[in-house]
């Protein structure tokens, strides 16, 4: 399957017109014979891409003390506990942060408070923080999250997953796609039989079907 994926990626990139911005490369995944009206059947997974995202991914950390000090070395934003209530009062700023940052990490004792005051903003975006122990080093998790994509179907049989950027090597993008397909296959009750089709495309380019079988 690897060669077929590489071929589809190359075709998608070659057929896409040049743009004056850095285009993403995305998968359009179509499921079949899955009742997505039942929440437990919906896809909501994170995939660590072996070749990375090809673009900057921003991670914010809620923490204090040792965690905050370590976070300053690797995270894009450190939010001290006293800022949590201020964000609750300033919904506009909270929404801006929720939109600007891709992932959040928080010291475990702060999770309840964050859920109570910011859950309504972070929850629907699928961005509730990942907990770490008090004083823990968030940097290994930050490193992984910067190579991570979310795969979310909600209740739709067609959904999209970013797998890289147009300037990446097609071989590297193909490795990312294989990882996404492997994770998806493991999640679906009937594996590949629940996948109707997968297309690869740049942000504004044509969709090219990946031959799965």
Q: What is the pLDDT of residues 58-111, one digit of tens each?
A: 999 999 999 999 999 999 999 999 999 899 899 999 999 999 999 999 999 999
pLDDT of residue 130: 96
- pLDDT of 1 reads 83
Residues of the chain with pLDDT under 50: none
* Chain-centroid distance, C-alpha 85: 27
Identify the pLDDT of residue 88: 87
Q: For residue 212, what pLDDT is reported?
A: 82
CATH match of 2-54+149-209 with 3.30.190.20 = yes
CA 188, 191, 193, 196 torsion: positive or negative? positive
Where exactly are the structural domains of the chain? 2-54+149-209, 59-145
Q: Give me the pLDDT at residue 213, please.
A: 74
| Measured distance CA(186)–CA(85) in Å, rounded | 40
Single out the residue of 99, 78, 95, 75 nearest to residue 87, CA to CA.
Answer: 95
CATH homologous superfamily of 59-145: Ribosomal protein L1/L10, domain II (3.40.50.790)
Give SS3 for 81: coil
Q: Where are the alpha helices (DSSP H) in the chain?
A: 2-15, 65-71, 82-89, 91-100, 111-122, 139-145, 170-187
Apex CA 171: angle with CA 152 and CA 177, to 5°?
A: 15
Q: What is the DSSP string of 195-212?
A: EEEEEEEETTS--EE---
């Amino acid at each position: 399957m690897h060669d077929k994926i590489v071929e589809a990626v190359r075709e998608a990139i070659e057929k896409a017109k040049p743009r004056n911005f850095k285009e993403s490369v995305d998968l359009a995944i179509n499921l079949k014979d899955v009742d997505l009206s039942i929440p437990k059947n919906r896809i909501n997974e994170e995939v660590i891409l072996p070749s990375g995202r090809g673009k900057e991914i921003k991670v914010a950390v809620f923490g204090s003390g040792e965690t905050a000090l370590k976070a300053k070395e690797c995270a894009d934003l450190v939010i001290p506990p006293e800022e949590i209530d201020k964000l609750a009062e300033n919904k506009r700023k909270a929404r801006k942060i929720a939109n600007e940052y891709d992932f959040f990490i928080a010291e475990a004792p702060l999770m309840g408070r964050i859920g109570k005051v910011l859950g309504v903003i972070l929850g629907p975006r699928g961005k509730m923080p990942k907990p770490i122990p008090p004083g823990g080093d968030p940097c290994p998790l930050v490193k992984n999250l910067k190579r991570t994509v979310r795969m979310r179907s909600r209740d739709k049989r067609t959904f999209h997953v970013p797998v890289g950027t147009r300037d990446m090597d097609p071989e590297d993008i193909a490795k990312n796609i294989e990882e996404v397909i492997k994770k998806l296959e493991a999640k679906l009750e009937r594996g590949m039989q629940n996948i109707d089709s997968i297309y690869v495309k740049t942000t504004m380019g044509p969709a090219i079907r990946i031959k799965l079988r």
